[in-house]
Amino acid sequence: MRPTLRLDRGTLVLREVPEVVACWFTWDARSQNHRAPGASYRPVMEALRSAGVSVVDEAAVFSKLELGFARDVTPYPHQMAALRAWKDAGRRGVVVLPTGAGKTLVAQLALRDTPRSALICVPTLDLLQQWYAGLVAAFPDTNVGVLGGGSHDDTPLLVSTYDSAAIHAETLAGTYAFQIFDECHHLPSDFTRVIAQMGLAPYRLGLSATPKRSDGRERDLDDLIGPVVYSVAPDELAGDTLADYRETIIRVKLSAGEQRRYDDLIRQRNDFLRLQGIRLGSLEGWTEFIRASGSPQGRAAMRAHREAKSLAYGTEGKLRVLEEILATHPSARTLIFTDDNATVYRISREFLIPAITHQTPVKERHAMLENFRSGDYRILVTSRVLNEGVDVPEASVAVVLSGTATEREHIQRLGRILRKSEGKQAVLYEVITEGTSEERVSQQRRGQWSPGMSAQDIADHYLDLNAPD
């Protein structure tokens, strides 16, 4: 009797293991059978086939897709090269392309040439919408489904957020022959890597502009997806795919009154710290400050620190500059970025500019982006939700009102306007407040400043701390 290969909650199960695949399986005394991670499906099946051993495969329930490709686009040479490299590598691996260089088309071509049930994982709800719209346009006869953001479809071509795909990893494991990971540096985290580990998918494609992670786990992508099969840097493409852009930094000075207030608050805080012998240069110092903020004096110092921080971000001054920039570009498609939701909504309320944050309902978000694309809305203000690879091709002006210090964010924000649009030079404004610690954050964001953490960085992260009391 032929052995039967079954799938149990993201693992492959065999009652008896043929010798040629024994190395992938482990005896499971709990269930009295042999078990292997779902991801070993491909090497197991390949080994069985080359040894001429036949099994009953009850594990994989892949389906064929009828993908009528309804796009008359000529791929750029780098897109064709990426596709070829991925296919030559056995349809497994990571393609590294700068934001704006058309990763989505590479994926659509890979789908066209690998017409099997496919799961596409994306990090944000915006990307979910964007992939959905893109796939519907590319494959109009195919039923495209969405998992995440309130939708729970079950279709052979499915776009999901990483979180939803991880939550449902066990049920998705056997259905998809092809896994595509957009912004694939998200995959190696503890919570999401199970999508790749449990999934049987013999074909895998990772896409990223910057596969780097702060924890170095991008190395795991080799196992989870496959090695980098194609890579190209932004400057190799500038002028070809990407529009030239100009970056303008505007320094906002606090008004004399604001500056006095700021200095005053910082003095208040520092007096307290000195009295307590706390040095804010380190994480321990910051933890001590939080502990000390239980006392009335400590509370006052913490309040002073917070108010100084909010002054440093100089919202009022920045809004004055924003108004000026908007007047300078009275007809340009413009995106405004700020770091915190409160400022997004403040700008939206005060200027009556449509806003998108992570709180915006999915459908409304989609409609807003559509309006922006079509030109019905000329300006959008947003927090970090548009950061990664969301395709807003028509934007030619971007205004960054404040930011946090991570390199990737900066690259990807720039990427938003690095789109070739006829005869247009894109402008990126970065509005920062002079004479406060925030300046260093901006420098770090552009890779110019990095020694250790500033008190500001630590302040930005202080809620993650969890000291016992």
Number of H helices, E strands in the chain: 18, 19
Element (H, E) at 180: strand 178-181
Cα(88)–Cα(191) distance, integer angstroms:
31
Nearer to another protein, 136 or 300 (CB): 300
Rounded to a whole number of angstroms, the minimum distance from the CB of residue 309 to another protein is 17
Is residue 198 a contact point for another protein (CB under 8 A)? yes
Cα(165)–Cα(173) distance, integer angstroms:
10
Which of 190, 216, 256, 423 forms a contact with another protein (CB under 8 A)?
Answer: 190
Applying CB under 8 A, the span of 91-99, 226-234, 247-255, 294-302 interacting with another protein comes to 294-302
Residue 54 has phi, psi (to 5 degrees) of -105, 140
Which residues, including other chains, have CB under 8 Å from residue 287's CB and lie 6 or more apart? 465, 467
10 Å Cβ neighbour count for 413? 23
Which of 379, 399, 428, 432 forms a contact with another protein (CB under 8 A)?
Answer: 379
Chain centroid to CA 206: 13
The answer to whether 187 and 181 have CB atoms below 8 angstroms apart is: yes
Which of 3, 18, 20, 33 forms a contact with another protein (CB under 8 A)?
Answer: 33
Is residue 351 a contact point for another protein (CB under 8 A)? yes
- In angstroms, the Cα distances linking 416 to 103, 410, 413 are 14, 10, 5
10 Å Cβ neighbour count for 314? 27
Applying CB under 8 A, the span of 8-16, 63-71, 200-208, 410-418 interacting with another protein comes to 8-16
Is residue 194 a contact point for another protein (CB under 8 A)? yes
Is residue 464 a contact point for another protein (CB under 8 A)? yes
Rounded to a whole number of angstroms, the minimum distance from the CB of residue 85 to another protein is 31
Rounded to a whole number of angstroms, the minimum distance from the CB of residue 299 to another protein is 5
Residues touching another protein, count (CB under 8 A): 52
Reduced to 3 states, what is the DSSP secondary structure of residue 229? strand
Is residue 399 a contact point for another protein (CB under 8 A)? no
Cα(256)–Cα(278) distance, integer angstroms:
30
Cα(406)–Cα(447) distance, integer angstroms:
9
Is residue 452 a contact point for another protein (CB under 8 A)? no
Nearer to another protein, 138 or 167 (CB): 167
Cα(18)–Cα(14) distance, integer angstroms:
9
Rounded to a whole number of angstroms, the minimum distance from the CB of residue 1 to another protein is 18
Applying CB under 8 A, the span of 53-61, 64-72, 281-289, 389-397 interacting with another protein comes to 281-289
Please give the structure tokens belonging to residue 295.
């006392």
Which of 155, 231, 287, 406 forms a contact with another protein (CB under 8 A)?
Answer: 287
10 Å Cβ neighbour count for 14? 21
Dihedral sign, Cα of residue 289, residue 291, residue 297, residue 303: positive
Applying CB under 8 A, the span of 151-159, 193-201, 382-390, 427-435 interacting with another protein comes to 193-201
Cα(338)–Cα(334) distance, integer angstroms:
13
Which of 248, 359, 425, 450 forms a contact with another protein (CB under 8 A)?
Answer: 359
Which of 21, 37, 180, 430 forms a contact with another protein (CB under 8 A)?
Answer: 37
Is residue 352 a contact point for another protein (CB under 8 A)? yes
**Chain residues in the site for another protein (CB under 8 A):** 8-11, 26, 28-33, 35, 37, 170, 190, 194, 197-198, 283-284, 287, 294-296, 299, 319, 323, 326-327, 330, 345, 348-354, 359, 361, 364, 376-379, 463-469
